[in-house]
Structure 1
Amino acid sequence: MELFGDHRLHLPDAELDWYPHWLPSAQADAWLQALIEQVSWSQPQVQLFGRWHRVPRLVAWYGDPQASYGYSGQRHQPLAWTALLQGIRQAVEQAAGASFNAVLLNYYRDGQDCMGWHSDDEAELGAQPCIASLSLGQARRFDLRRRGSQRIEHSVLLEHGSLLVMRGSTQHHWQHQVARSRKISAPRINLTFRRVNP
């Protein structure tokens, strides 16, 4: 696992550590296939402007028993850690220098699955949350913009086996998205580890 050199992405009011080749390819391949098969995926609905819509991806929430988490107007109770997710968590904790009690998994089946603009700034994540984001599968573009702005200021290609760690005041000043792309047909799984304060 790659953990050396200067991997800081230099954006104002942000702390972003970027390890583009964190996992060896064979390990990333194995984890991707196992997660596709083993995770209890669901496709919840969210209410937008009075209408219900299915989120444009599959999701799963795993964690310690007390790590209940509210986002998109819903409260999610964690599924119990699997042996595989426990192992991944330990490796990510060592890389990030932080401890996590939950993980949100997003399964992008193809380029039509996406994640809209948002910040991970829910109250139960604390004042300066650390979010460690592991990407497996098809590379997808990760866009960043200042809160209150419509202009993309920075983009990172999240490749197979890469790790991005966001900490400090990043979520207070920046939003991020994974946009749709007609060019993409292969799947991607993203695991975002975090610490939820009960």
Structure 2
Amino acid sequence: MNLFPDSPLQLPDACLDLRPDWLEPATAERWLRQLLAETPWQQPRLRLYGRELTVPRLVAWYGDAGACYRYSGLTHQPLPWTPLLAQIRQRLQAAVGQPLNGVLLNYYRDGNDSMGWHSDDEAELGADPLIASLNLGGSRRFDLRRKGQARIEHSLLLTHGSLLVMAGPTQHYWQHQVAKTRRPCAPRLNLTFRLIRSTP
């Protein structure tokens, strides 16, 4: 099942669609500069396996009133939509054909910032969540592996202005990560829009 019928990306038990040039370069550059400047970034601390760790990136959660999002033991209360984020949401809703009431912004300042292996399978996202991931700034590798396995089965390069949509059973069977890298890379901003179907 694919949202974009001509997508070359086919993985079993998944619905993944990548549009490398979804956003025109001038708009991508303008959105990146404005979002980096106006977002009140946070770097939460979380407890994982008995240890307290600092999240290895900067984050912000925006959404409709009541669209709280809980993951990794943290509950994020939504900031109100800014005019720019409301505009981006409207454009993405038209692209994916469903409402989206929250967005998690992740700011990867350099190659030391990362996102560990996980699935977006929190209960408040519903049975088959759709995650629309807009990428701005530096390119980073996005890895996928089967749940329960250690081997990376597929990797994508997420570039400036690209859109990756994960839907259907993807989160049931697959995990993804953005690993640390020693390669020089420009700062990257990732916006993952989703629909919160119930509050935690």
For the 8 Å contact 1:57–1:108, the answer to whether it is kept is yes
Give distance in 2, aligned partners of 1:93 and 1:40.
24
Partner of 1:129: 129
| Deviation for aligned residue 1:5 | 6.5
Q: Structure 1 unaligned runs (5+)?
A: none
Is it true that 1:104 corresponds to 2:104 in the alignment? Answer: yes
Is it true that 1:177 corresponds to 2:177 in the alignment? Answer: yes
C-alpha RMSD of matched pairs (Å):
1.3
Partner of 1:152: 152
| Deviation for aligned residue 1:184 | 2.5
Partner of 2:81: 81
| Deviation for aligned residue 1:185 | 3.7
| Deviation for aligned residue 1:68 | 0.6
Letter in 2 for 1:153: E
| Deviation for aligned residue 1:51 | 2.0
Partner of 1:20: 20
* Mean CA deviation greater in 47-56 or 188-197: 47-56
Give distance in 1, aligned partners of 2:185 and 2:55.
18
Query: Normalising by the residue count of structure 2, what TM-score does the alignment of the two structures yield?
Result: 0.95
Query: Normalising by the residue count of structure 1, what TM-score does the alignment of the two structures yield?
Result: 0.96
**Structure 1 residue ranges (4+ consecutive) displaced by more than 4 angstroms after TM superposition:** none
Question: 1:113-145, CA deviations, whole angstroms, 9 ceiling, x for partnerless residues?
Answer: 000000000000000000000000000000000
| Deviation for aligned residue 1:37 | 0.3
Partner of 1:193: 193
Q: Structure 2 unaligned runs (5+)?
A: none
Give distance in 2, aligned partners of 1:120 and 1:193.
11
Is it true that 1:59 corresponds to 2:54 in the alignment? Answer: no
* Mean CA deviation greater in 157-166 or 42-51: 42-51
**How many residues are aligned here?**
196
User: What is the identity percentage for the equivalent residue pairs of Structure 1 and Structure 2?
Assistant: 63
Query: SS in structure 1 opposite 2:116?
Result: strand
Letter in 1 for 2:138: Q
| Deviation for aligned residue 1:82 | 0.3
Give distance in 2, aligned partners of 1:30 and 1:53.
33
Question: 1:2-43, CA deviations, whole angstroms, 9 ceiling, x for partnerless residues?
Answer: x97712520000001110100011110000010100111100
Question: 1:96-123, CA deviations, whole angstroms, 9 ceiling, x for partnerless residues?
Answer: 1121000000000001000000000000
Letter in 2 for 1:44: P
Partner of 1:114: 114
Query: SS in structure 2 opposite 1:151?
Result: coil
